[in-house]
Structure 1
Amino acid sequence: MSGKRTPTLVDVAREAGVSPATASRVLNGSARAVGEPHRGRVTDAAARLGYVANTSAQELARGGSDFVALILTDLTDPQETAIAAGVVEEADRRGLFVTVSVTNGRPGRELELLHALRAQRPAAVVLAGHRATDVGAGGTTDALTDIRAGGGGVAIVGDSALPFDRVVPQNYEGARDLAVRLGGLGYESAAVLAGPSDDIAARDRTRGFVDGCAAAGVRIGAGGVVHGELSRAGGHAAALHLLALDGPRADVVLAVADTTALGAMVAIRDSGLAVPDDVSLAGFDDIDALRDVSPGLTTVRLPLRELGVTAVRVALSAPSAAPAARYVGARPVLRDSTPARRHQLVPLD
């Protein structure tokens, strides 16, 4: 074995001096014809490099376009931008480009975007924004079904009632595991900054944490689950509300997203308290911004980029006979914001 890597479509495009999209149209048999001299340059480059076309990519090219349509909720959300990076990475590897549309949480905007995409015949559509309890899912289902009938693939990041293949983070399990770990560190009471009550991921994380606290003997008192926006501002407001409640303060607070936790950390400091001396704090996602936070924030790590990569692979694969889910694990990462409250041999990550 020589150990030489297999040439990719991007290698052929670079050798031929054309875009990956043009190389894909030549080698994968797209209905969008490429004329000379570009066609000859691409085929000559493929022969020199020993490139072998991907059969599934050929089928996609003949049935649709050369782009993946990604729909997000909020382009400034670090979780969504990390997922988007994975989508771009995998699409680029396959010689496809990515268009990004944003709903900004506007009801009905997702459906408007899907209706516009039907005429453009994308190779695939990936829905990767925050999902509510699928209000209006009937129209979304119809639009996605039309896109798939036109040769486009579909994948959803996150749990959903929509009848399409999806890539699902184990939100419930990760939050439950974190609660059990915190119980083992000696925490006796907890509270949750739970995000919007209709957000599917936030709901699952809240439920997992509450169940884990019950299993570990950690109390969540009356008013200990506070709903609000999944944002720094939402976390700040929810934390101030929590701190203003009568009665003993919770030992540890979980914010169901890291961005929410960062806002809560500021609110705690604005109230004259300190993390973790007065209140311990944890988040969820392990976004890149946490590298600059002090004290280090305990969180639940999701492989966000991997979610995007996997979503493209799912969307470009043949659809399952029945909607299927690929689950992606989530694991607690303990840092300085949740130190042991009694002597424990539990290392920080």
Structure 2
Amino acid sequence: MATVSRTLAGNYPVSAVTRARVTEAVEALHYVMNVHARALSGQVAGPVALVMNDITGPSLAHVAAGVEQEAAANGRLSLVCATHDDVEREDSLVRMMLEQHAAAVVLVGGAELTKAYTRRMTGYAQALDAVGSRLVLVGRPPLPPGVPATVVEYDNRSGAFQAATHLLAAGHRRILFLGGTQINTAVQRRAGFLDALRAHGVPFEEELEISGPYTRASGFLRTRDALRDGLEFTAVLAGTDMVAVGAIAALHEADLRVPDDVSIVGFDDVPFASDLTPALTTVRVPYEELGRVAVRLALEKQEHLSNDDYVVLSTQLMVRRSTRSLLDS
């Protein structure tokens, strides 16, 4: 066993004959080294763990792609886990990553900023820091100063401001705002929408704000109900592209054309947004870059090469064909 170990590790001189015999045996037996044992001995770099609520969402899938790319570039394995909105499962996954000696645990997705959230995230951060790992929060609320965690966000507020300003500058005054729940990303997008209304001197009308989950079904139902209730609007600002897709379906069901009758703007710029008919005007979020930056900062922190604990990436309005100007009418 010792001879085989020395040969495979390459850290001890063995004869050419012995090396050939060991290599032949390894190939014949399809032998695979025990990665966990090597990790415990410090011979292999720890993996990067990505923990998210749902791995099927188009936006989060691109975060996962960025994490995998950056991890692979640094010779690390990636582990992808889903919590399905279960706090207990999230707890057990973080504990499991501690046992796996993960170099970093990246938690992705919006969350409601509560005392319970802060307490739980602080516990994760301190436990991971104690074993030389790093907690990275992507698109989640930041933690109090002094907590050993890295936060990577994107500028939701500015993105929503750009989206609303695009509609307001085109003459739209009655904009149906399909916002989200009390998660941090939705709160920031609502703030950006309100900023734009104030900047253009347009009063906020409560009846034009309908909150709900960031899903296609919710976008459809909220828009359909608004139309059935006789709510008048010339544009829709959807909290996500999936909500926008649902809203478009409801508008089509009511024989309303986009953008001739109603303009619509989304948020995310998921891959199919430009393939819709008409192509969707939306706010582009650099999801893959979020994943890459999260891993890069965590590994640099582990090697004491970076002092960055809080990074905000910019968003960009992508103007396509789902909006039109009322000023040209």
Instruction: Tell me the SS of whatever aligns to 1:204.
Output: helix
Larger Rg: 2
**1:157-176 equivalent positions in 2, closer than 5 A:** 157-162=138-143, 163=147, 164-176=149-161
Structure 2 partner of 1:91: 71
1:70 aligns with 2:55: no
Give the AA of the match of 1:36.
T
**1:112-261 equivalent positions in 2, closer than 5 A:** 112-134=92-114, 135-162=116-143, 163=147, 164-196=149-181, 198-247=182-231, 249-261=232-244
What do the CA deviations read for 1:294-339 (whole angstroms, capped 9, x no partner)? 1111111111111110011111122799983111001211111111
What is the percentage of aligned positions where both structures have the same residue?
31
Q: Which moved more, 1:174-183 or 1:74-83?
A: 174-183
The partner residue of 1:267 within 244, 247, 250 is 250
CA contact (8 A) 1:167 1:326 kept: yes
Gaps of 5+ in 2: 12-40
Structure 1 partner of 2:270: 287
CA contact (8 A) 1:257 1:284 kept: yes
TM-score by length of 2: 0.81
CA contact (8 A) 2:128 2:134 kept: yes
Indicate how the Cα distance of structure 1 residues 287 and 280 shifts in structure 2: closer, same or farther if over 3 A, else same: same
4+ residue stretches of structure 1 with deviation over 6 A?
319-323
What do the CA deviations read for 1:170-228 (whole angstroms, capped 9, x no partner)? 000111122222221221221211122x2110111111112212212345423211111
Indicate how the Cα distance of structure 1 residues 225 and 239 shifts in structure 2: closer, same or farther if over 3 A, else same: same
Distance 1:64 1:38 in 2: 11
Distance 2:279 2:196 in 1: 23
Distance 1:285 1:35 in 2: 51
Distance 1:74 1:270 in 2: 29
Give the AA of the match of 1:298.
T
Query: Cα offset for 1:237?
Result: 1.6
Distance 1:234 1:63 in 2: 49
CA contact (8 A) 1:73 1:129 kept: yes
Indicate how the Cα distance of structure 1 residues 209 and 151 shifts in structure 2: closer, same or farther if over 3 A, else same: same
Distance 2:85 2:64 in 1: 17
Distance 2:140 2:43 in 1: 28
Structure 1 partner of 2:8: 37
Give the AA of the match of 1:147.
L
CA contact (8 A) 1:176 1:211 kept: yes
Distance 1:288 1:82 in 2: 9
